[in-house]
Amino acid sequence: MKAVNFVAALAIGAMPIWHSPAASAQSQDLGQAANDPTASLMAFQFRNFYTSSFHKLPGETQNSFDLRATIPWEIAGTSNIFRLTTPYVTHSPSGAEGFADSTLFNLTTFDQSWGRWGIGAVALLPSWETGLSTRKYGLGPAVGFTAQANWGLWGLFNQNVFSIGGDSDARDVNLSTFQAILNVPLGNDWSLGASEMTFVYDWDAGEFTSIPLGLKLSKLTKPGRGRIPVQYQLSYEHNFYDDAPGPRDVWGLTVKLLVPK
């Protein structure tokens, strides 16, 4: 049975980044921006993921909580997005609890008539927590795009992390992730789309070690003038990769504080 680097997959996961409307504060623009993973809207997310079942680990569950800060910035007229994600595992099959590895991310984006594309880099920073950390530093490229259609938003995002140092006795991290992006507005600030759906390819194992399929329901609320808009998300996905122990059914709850310009 091939080992699967779940800790690294948890750390890099899917990395959506949010975009502020170019010159409009209309709620529809903000709603589109909050679901566009290539755009530059400052956002602070609080995400909880509950794994209700595992492949090959009957009766086991897991819960993790992460904080994600997304900060847009510019240099020489070029738009960039910086993001820090720090996960905390509150319960796991091994009994380990604590901080998992963090990720730093920067994406340079370019607007096009059809949508937007971006290129950047992602870094993996180990927490060194026993049972929760890869104990490896990682670095790699990222690239993706989103396109607007008359029915909503679609696109693809790819990230790659490869070991560059750390504990020499720990297993290397050599992973590529692929995230399909899909979002359809439903009206009244509701939308339906794909869940995180992060396909993970492990270069050492020579195969995809996460093959998920799921949905996400989002609701944008505007509490009033002078107050921060908030988006709530509920998600569910099923992982079809079952050749090794790993998550099978995962439920997510996200509270996203949006800070438009």
pLDDT tens digits for 59-92?
999 999 999 999 999 999 999 999 999 999 999 9
Token match 């990769």: residue? Answer: 241
| Residue 168, pLDDT above cutoff 90 | yes
Distance in angstroms (rounded) separating the CA atoms of residues 48 and 63:
7
Amino acid at 24: S
- Within 8 A by CB and 6+ apart from 23, the residues are none
Q: How far is 20 from 31, CA to CA, in rounded Å?
A: 10
Q: What is the pLDDT of residue 215?
A: 98
Confidence class for position 40, pLDDT limits 50, 70, 90: confident
Token digits of residue 120: 């950047």
Confidence of residue 7 (pLDDT cuts 50, 70, 90): low
For the chain, helix (H) and strand (E) counts, in that order, are: 2, 15
Q: Is the pLDDT of residue 27 over 50?
A: no
Residue 227: per-residue pLDDT: 79
What are the tokens at 62? 């897991």
**pLDDT averaged over the chain?**
88
With 0.75 as the threshold, say if the pTM is over it: yes
Could you tell me the two tokens for 66?
Answer: 């992460």
Rounded CA-CA distance 182/126 in Å is: 31
Strand partners, 108: 80, 119
Quote the CA–CA distance of 215 and 204 in Å, as a whole number.
30
Q: Is the pLDDT of residue 183 over 80?
A: yes
Amino acid at 151: W
Hey, what domains does the chain have and what are their CATH numbers?
6-259 (2.40.160.40)
